[in-house]
Amino acid sequence: MTRFYRALLRLYPERFREEYGDELCRAFVERTRGRSRLATVAAAIGDVVPNAIAAHWDILRHGSGAGLTWPAFSGDIRYALRQIARAPLLSGVIIAVIAIGIGINAGLLTILDTYVWQPAPGIPRDRSLVRLSATVVEQKGRAHATRLSYPDILDLRARHNAFADVAAWRLTSRDVDMGGGAETMLVSFATSNFFRVLQLPLAAGSGFDDDRDRSSRPIAVISYSHWMTTFGGSPDAIGKTIRVSNQPFTIVGVAPPRFVGIDIRDMDKSMIWLPLGTEEIVEPNAAKDRVDRGAAMFSTFARLAPGVSPAGVARLTSVVAAQLARPRPDNLVRLSIAAEPLTGVAPGDSNRTELVAGFLLIAALIVVITCTNVSALLLGRAAVRRREIGVRLALGATRRRLMRQMLTESLVLAVAGAALALVLYVIVIKVAYANVPELIWGLQAQPSTFAFAGLFALVTTLAFGLAPALHATSADIGDVMKNSGNHAISRSRLQRAFVVVQLACSQPVLVVTSLVLADLRHTANANADQAPASVVTMSARNFRSTPVSDLGEVRRRLAAMPGVRSVGVTTMGYPRPDPRVSTRFGPSTSFDVPGVRGAQRDVHVRQRYVDSGYFATVGVPLLRGRSIGVNDDHEGSVSVVVNDAAAKTFWPGENPIGKLLLRHSSDVEGVEATSLHVIGVVATAAYDADSAATVFAPLSTAASQWESTIALRTSGDARTYVPSIRAAVREADPFVAIDGVITLAEQYAGQQREAVQSNAAAFAVGAAALVLASLGLYAVIAFAVAQRTREIGIRLAMGATRGVVVRQFFRNGIVASAIGLAIGLPLTVAGIRVVQANMLGFTLQHVAAVLVVVPVLVSVAALASWLPARRAGRVDPVIALRTE
């Protein structure tokens, strides 16, 4: 046991160990006499590790505290700093490469961490909190994610062996009046245990009653920011009355600061929480839905029972899942429940997997670029210093000692790079907060994330510094001291090999990076500024119990408002079904032209329903025929208008007016075909960049106007009409909730801003990767050429002309790059294949973006071969011969 302790003592600084090692052993042995072996081992580790760290810290802090010194290592560091200062450009490039690599990675990881891996703001990290997601598998074997119905949730709650408790919520948007006028807010109907399961202490008030959702007492929990802005943070807010859809609710609680709901998707919106039992106050058919297993509209989370892991949930709930499936319609055969950590983005949320995979892929690629560059640069340095190392070896330095020296230099460079990256990281986040706070809402500089990226960089730099260090110290002393010609050749070969490898790696890496980035890119709309400020649009939801009720009264009331010139309504969704066909799960719709059946079946054509006022109101011009008139807008109408993109798809080069179009509405139970009659062709609105093929059918033929868009054209700026629009809708129909009242000008300007911002971010990452690769490539080649100044001198002295020498170097550089690019080509193609297979919407445009990469790499290689060779060629042969 003494030997174990003695071995551990090596952790102490050398001088301390020499001075007190024996005493330490003796005291330790006496101290642990009679203890068990295990206890002694534990005591030894517990004694030495913290004290050794503290002893090293003492030295660092006091220089030579407690009679201890740290001579060897600090000498290494000083020597490393001198070496770095001797080659400032090369060292600068290495530090910059490391800094850019770490910086990008830390940024990407921070974004992922804040938005994807952490719970939404305000929710504590708690492993026993899980989000429950359900998947239904239909008879045909098709699986899709589903929400859960209230009876499902009750069944899950009964599984006490799996869950301590299960809570659920669903979102809807409503007009909420807190005393300062109605405002559209997200209303979260939550089970009464919602805050308790999260274990979120309310900032004020007692919250919902724990009544298992039975009470319909009208109470509400408001957000912390509303409490602050509307009620000045006063405790008197509790007990005040607010109006939701014009119905009175009493405030019983204030959510904790920063809490904005379970999903970060909604974090920029206003939200209030109402108990589930109050649903029918604002939605008449809610009570019916509460007992209907088909009404799967709840998002669900749970606190796991003690000792249950998320992976165990599927097993524990399989019985429930079978029960849940049984009372459902026959076409459902199985339903499975999965649990995963309650993060801010739902697993089923669109793009989550794609986003995470894309980000991680880019992060990994950046690491690869950084590492190849750093390794090549370090090798370049090592190659130059073979002579210096040879001298030190000849003077009696051990290889081990020299290795330590080389690795210390790598470490110093890595630390400098990491420090620079940290500064950049903090500055970028600060600047971003100051300038575009809405873009990075909730994004936090994460010390842990940065520490991870930094540590990773240190480890990789050391690992990649090892090969060059080994290479440098493997020098044969005699060879190096003689500086024989043989060696010069092998060195130039080695460096050329590095250029080849560098290019072979960076090409596929850059190509794949730009592909992934191109996929994240948004199309900017060049005509966005033409969107009129005189048109306002809003989405309207109809909460009446009859599924087909329309917005008739609302529309009439809005049209009668002074200053309103026209009103239009549009909705999407599926056509009103034949009563024989069940449309419970929403049929899919496709179109084709009689006669050319099959040819256009796969073309994606959108379908919208519009009323007679819609085109004129939003400014969609009619190209041919006539628009949908009041007489066309009735149930069973077969008149449709197509846009020019759809016309070109179905009838290229023909006049579509009077043609027939077949619409196939299919669902699990069958296909219904309807013959439609084309009466007109419209263009795309001047401000709209979206030109997807679309068929416009009369509004009355839509299955439901549950969620529609209302557009109003006013005289003058439409923004000034917003309060009266809200009031008119509320008066006309209290069960219609409107949301997102915004003028077209505002809407398109916002979209434009978002597109520009996200494109700028993607471009910045791509440009940084390209700069990173170019920097490394240039440094490696230029360094290799500069190293051959002596050779150039010899050639010039032997009578070669400058032009010939420079041309030869240039040619060599190009040949090496060509070989590298050629070797990398299969990898690039494989990379493109992989991306293509996993990416939707992969187009030739993306490939075009990729083509930028290769010319840039070739130009950099050419420039890097040419400039130093030209410089070397200008040098006087005598001076050139004396270099090294």
Partner 1 sequence: MHCGYSHGVTANADVERLLPLPPITFHILLSLLDGERHGYAIIQDVGERTGGELQLSAGSLYRSIARMVEQTLIVEVAKRHAPGDDERRRYYKITPFGTAVARAEMRRLAELVRLARKSGLTPETA
Alpha helix stretches (DSSP H) within 614-673: 614-618, 644-650
Stretch that binds partner 1, among 18-26, 74-82, 231-239, 845-853 (CB under 8 A): 18-26
Residues 211-250: x where in contact with partner 1 by CB under 8 A, - otherwise, as a string: ----------------------------------------
Stretch that binds partner 1, among 63-71, 183-191, 567-575, 825-833 (CB under 8 A): 63-71
Q: Does 59 bind partner 1 (CB under 8 A)?
A: no
**Which residue's CB is nearer to partner 1, number 4 or number 452?**
4
Stretch that binds partner 1, among 24-32, 234-242, 333-341, 565-573 (CB under 8 A): 24-32
Distance between CA atoms of residues 26 and 149, nearest Å: 70
Alpha helix stretches (DSSP H) within 385-528: 386-394, 399-435, 447-473, 477-482, 485-520
Per DSSP, the residues of 134-164 read: EEEEETTS-EEEE-B-HHHHHHHHT-TTTEE
Beta bridge partners of 171: 188
Distance between CA atoms of residues 15 and 21, nearest Å: 9
**Cβ at position 49, least distance to partner 1 in Å:** 9
**Of 2, 10, 18, 22, the one binding partner 1 by CB under 8 A:** 22
Distance between CA atoms of residues 278 and 212, nearest Å: 12
The residues, any chain, with a CB within 8 Å of residue 708's CB and separated by 6 or more, are 539, 540, 542, 551, 569, 570, 571
Q: Does 26 bind partner 1 (CB under 8 A)?
A: yes
**Of 7, 42, 66, 89, the one binding partner 1 by CB under 8 A:** 66
**Of 1, 6, 14, 19, the one binding partner 1 by CB under 8 A:** 19
Distance between CA atoms of residues 317 and 155, nearest Å: 10
**Cβ at position 371, least distance to partner 1 in Å:** 39
Indicate the helix (H) or strand (E) that contains 113: none
**Of 7, 10, 18, 27, the one binding partner 1 by CB under 8 A:** 27
**Which residue's CB is nearer to partner 1, number 29 or number 89?**
29
Instruction: Give me the phi and psi of 351, to 5 degrees please.
Output: 75, -5
User: Residue 550: which of 410, 736, 365, 421 has the closest Cα?
Assistant: 736
In Å, how far are 390, 393, 473, 759, 808 from 397, measured between CA atoms?
10, 5, 11, 55, 40
**Cβ at position 58, least distance to partner 1 in Å:** 7
Handedness of CA 829, 831, 836, 841 (dihedral sign): negative
Stretch that binds partner 1, among 14-22, 128-136, 194-202, 403-411 (CB under 8 A): 14-22
In Å, how far are 161, 541, 543, 622 from 705, measured between CA atoms?
43, 8, 10, 25
**Of 2, 10, 18, 31, the one binding partner 1 by CB under 8 A:** 31
**Cβ at position 2, least distance to partner 1 in Å:** 12
Q: Does 46 bind partner 1 (CB under 8 A)?
A: yes
**Which residue's CB is nearer to partner 1, number 22 or number 529?**
22
By CB under 8 A, the residues from 102 to 121 that bind partner 1 are none
**Of 4, 41, 51, 419, the one binding partner 1 by CB under 8 A:** 51
**Which residue's CB is nearer to partner 1, number 4 or number 585?**
4
Indicate the helix (H) or strand (E) that contains 345: none
Q: Does 28 bind partner 1 (CB under 8 A)?
A: yes
Indicate the helix (H) or strand (E) that contains 661: strand 660-667
Alpha helix stretches (DSSP H) within 788-852: 789-797, 802-838, 844-850
Question: Residue 177 corresponds to which tokens in the numbers above?
Answer: 């009046």
Q: Does 14 bind partner 1 (CB under 8 A)?
A: no
DSSP code of residue 118: S
Distance between CA atoms of residues 286 and 545, nearest Å: 9
**Cβ at position 50, least distance to partner 1 in Å:** 8
Instruction: Give me the phi and psi of 192, to 5 degrees please.
Output: -65, -20
Q: Tokens 């921070």, residue?
A: 110
Indicate the helix (H) or strand (E) that contains 739: strand 736-743
**Of 24, 678, 729, 792, the one binding partner 1 by CB under 8 A:** 24
E-state strands within 67-205 = 129-138, 143-146, 163-177, 182-190, 204-205
**Of 34, 67, 180, 307, the one binding partner 1 by CB under 8 A:** 67
Q: What angle do CA 744, 747, 750 make, to 5 degrees?
A: 145
Determine contact, residues 778/864, Cβ cutoff 8 Å: yes
**Cβ at position 76, least distance to partner 1 in Å:** 24
Largest CA distance in the chain: 105
**Of 43, 411, 428, 488, the one binding partner 1 by CB under 8 A:** 43
**Cβ at position 5, least distance to partner 1 in Å:** 9
Q: Does 16 bind partner 1 (CB under 8 A)?
A: yes
User: Residue 566: which of 710, 455, 762 has the closest Cα?
Assistant: 710
**Which residue's CB is nearer to partner 1, number 68 or number 382?**
68
Question: Residue 135 corresponds to which tokens in the numbers above?
Answer: 């998947």
**Which residue's CB is nearer to partner 1, number 47 or number 479?**
47
**Cβ at position 56, least distance to partner 1 in Å:** 11
**Which residue's CB is nearer to partner 1, number 51 or number 331?**
51
Stretch that binds partner 1, among 17-25, 304-312, 354-362, 630-638 (CB under 8 A): 17-25
Q: Does 47 bind partner 1 (CB under 8 A)?
A: yes
**Cβ at position 75, least distance to partner 1 in Å:** 22
**Which residue's CB is nearer to partner 1, number 49 or number 143?**
49
Q: Does 65 bind partner 1 (CB under 8 A)?
A: yes
Distance between CA atoms of residues 828 and 812, nearest Å: 23
Q: Does 48 bind partner 1 (CB under 8 A)?
A: yes
Burial of residue 501 (number of CB atoms within 10 Å: 0-12, 13-18, 19+): middle
- 792: Cα separation from own chain's centroid: 51
**Which residue's CB is nearer to partner 1, number 20 or number 117?**
20
**Cβ at position 38, least distance to partner 1 in Å:** 17
**Cβ at position 856, least distance to partner 1 in Å:** 57
The residues, any chain, with a CB within 8 Å of residue 72's CB and separated by 6 or more, are 14
**Of 68, 313, 361, 858, the one binding partner 1 by CB under 8 A:** 68
Q: Does 464 bind partner 1 (CB under 8 A)?
A: no
By CB under 8 A, the residues from 772 to 831 that bind partner 1 are none
Stretch that binds partner 1, among 16-24, 535-543, 822-830, 869-877 (CB under 8 A): 16-24
Relative to beta strand 247-254, strand 241-244 is antiparallel
Determine contact, residues 213/274, Cβ cutoff 8 Å: no
**Which residue's CB is nearer to partner 1, number 25 or number 683?**
25
Q: Does 650 bind partner 1 (CB under 8 A)?
A: no
The residue count for binding partner 1 (CB under 8 A) is 26
**Of 18, 39, 50, 357, the one binding partner 1 by CB under 8 A:** 50
With residues binned 3-state (H G I as helix, E B as strand, rest as coil), the percentages for the chain, rounded to 5, are 55, 20, 30
Q: Does 602 bind partner 1 (CB under 8 A)?
A: no
Q: Does 20 bind partner 1 (CB under 8 A)?
A: yes
**Of 40, 52, 90, 450, the one binding partner 1 by CB under 8 A:** 52
- 197: Cα separation from own chain's centroid: 28
By CB under 8 A, the residues from 151 to 190 that bind partner 1 are none
Q: Does 55 bind partner 1 (CB under 8 A)?
A: yes
Region label for 589, one of left (φ > 0), alpha (ψ between -120 and 50) or beta (otherwise): beta
Positions that interact with partner 1 (CB under 8 A): 16, 19-20, 22-28, 30-31, 43, 46-48, 50-52, 54-55, 58, 65-68
